Structure formats: C-alpha cells, structure tokens
C-alpha cells in the first residue's frame, strides 16, 4: 500500500467514480461529437474528405477521435484538483533515463509475447477478433497517410489515454487503499474488461495489466508503462498484416 499523504487521504471514491465517468463516457462522447462536426457532410472544418472510401473515412475519424480522447482525458486528469494530486506524482520521467528500466521493458515484452502464444493456442481467433472489432483488418490496404494516422492512434494516442486512466488513476487510487497485489488484480481486471472483444483478448489484456502494474510499482511512474504499451500496440499492429 502506498503511504497515505494528505492528497491521497482527500481522494474519495466519488472522485474515482466521477473520473471514470468523465474519461470513459463524457470525453469519448464529446470527442465523437466534435469529430462529427469536423467531418459533417464534407462541409465541416476539414474539407476534401468526400473522395475517401467509407472505410478510409472511418479510419480517419477514428484517429481524430482517439486524439481528442487522449487530449481531453489528459487535460482533465492533470488539472482537475483531486485527479492531478493523484496522477502527477506518478508522471516522473526519471525512470526513462535509467538503463534498468529498458532491461525490464525487454523482459516484460518477451513475457507478453510468450503468454500471447499460449493464449493463441487456446483461443486461435482472438487476434483476428480484436482486429475485426477495431475495424483494423484492412488497414494495410489503405493510403500510406491513413496507415500513419492509424499507427499514431493505435500506438500513441490510445496507450497514453489508457495508461493515464488505468495506471495513473485506477491503480494509484487502489494502491492508496489496498495492498499492491489486490490493487494490481483489480485494475488489471478492469483493463481486461475494457478490452472485451473476445475472451482471449480479455485474458491477454488482464495479463498485460499485471505486467504494467508491476512496471509502475518498480519504477514509481507510469511513463515506462506508456512506452511498454506503445511498443506492444505498435508490434501488434505491424504483425497484423500477416494474419
């Protein structure tokens, strides 16, 4: 358990609930509405999209929504009083200047892919299920510019958004109340449920959540976890072209 400070003592369950509602419900809704305005019937702020296929336009809109979600959630968590007192202490960049951090990243990445092979053995369609649910099955047939945008959304915007919430807020809050093991399992379970594309994906996400929690505990920061999450998503997207 993290030693309680005045900031953690003042952080109540209602703050956690409100934070989750805002970041998982209100921010995505606002991001979708703003994106709809930008692309509305080709008359929005972003012209020249009428010539795109339906799939390409969907990928472009998804990338924009992901950016707005990341931006909105991060601004809220960094500047809303109770949230910033919880998140800012675990935003240190110091671990990224330490060689042992990168050694740990390599070990955890290897563990992730070894576990992934095990999951694929029992749930052979889980990777394709996730690609289909995220509409990424045809991403490599798109224009290179749209591939880059999809890559940014998947490997940059989404990892930052998810790590701020799951490790920055949820894990840190639980660790102020419970033991590390309980906090890790609870936050990882929520992380797995958030990736409910198939049972195999949920199990993989739960395991990844445990590793990310351990990385946060060892480094005292969520920044190595953001790097891990980015690398993992980037590798998964690159390998998807061979599925």
List, for residues 88-107, the tens digit of each pLDDT value.
999 999 999 999 999 999 99
Q: Give me the residue label for tokens 């956690």.
A: 16
CA 229 to chain centre: 7
pTM attached to this predicted model = 0.91
Contacts of 23 (CB under 8 A, 6+ apart): 72, 73, 76, 77, 164, 165, 169
| 187-235: pLDDT as tens digits | 999 999 999 989 999 999 999 999 999 999 999 999 999 999 999 999 9
CA 94 to chain centre: 21
Q: Please answer whether residues 141 and 55 qualify as being in contact, where contact means their C-beta atoms are separated by less than 8 angstroms.
A: no
Residue written as token pair 């959304």: 153
Least-confidence region, from 16-25, 44-53, 227-236: 44-53
Domain ranges of the chain: 6-242
Confidence of residue 7 (pLDDT cuts 50, 70, 90): low
Which range, of 7-21, 151-165, 174-188, averages the lowest pLDDT?
7-21
Cα separation, 182 vs 178, in Å, equals 6
């Amino acid at each position: 358990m993290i030693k309680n400070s005045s900031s953690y003592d003042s952080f109540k369950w209602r703050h956690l609930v409100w934070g989750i509602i805002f970041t998982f419900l209100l921010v995505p809704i606002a991001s979708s509405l703003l994106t709809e305005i930008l692309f509305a019937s080709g008359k929005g702020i972003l012209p020249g999209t009428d010539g795109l296929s339906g799939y390409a336009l969907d990928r472009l809109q998804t990338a924009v929504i992901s950016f707005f979600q990341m931006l909105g959630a991060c601004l809220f968590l960094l500047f809303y009083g109770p949230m910033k007192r919880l998140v800012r202490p675990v935003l240190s960049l110091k671990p990224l200047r330490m060689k042992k951090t990168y050694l740990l990243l390599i070990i955890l990445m290897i563990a992730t892919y070894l576990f992934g092979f095990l999951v694929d053995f029992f749930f052979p369609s889980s990777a394709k299920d996730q690609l289909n649910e995220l509409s990424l099955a045809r991403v490599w047939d798109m224009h290179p510019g749209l591939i880059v945008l999809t890559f940014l959304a998947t490997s940059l915007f989404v990892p930052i958004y998810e790590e701020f919430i799951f490790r920055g807020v949820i894990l840190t809050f639980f660790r102020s109340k419970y033991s590390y093991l309980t906090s890790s399992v609870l936050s990882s379970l929520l992380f797995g449920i958030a990736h409910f594309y198939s049972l195999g994906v949920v199990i993989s996400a739960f395991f990844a959540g445990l590793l990310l929690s351990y990385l946060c505990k060892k480094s005292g920061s969520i920044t190595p976890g953001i790097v891990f999450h980015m690398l993992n998503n980037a590798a998964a997207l690159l390998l998807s072209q061979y599925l």
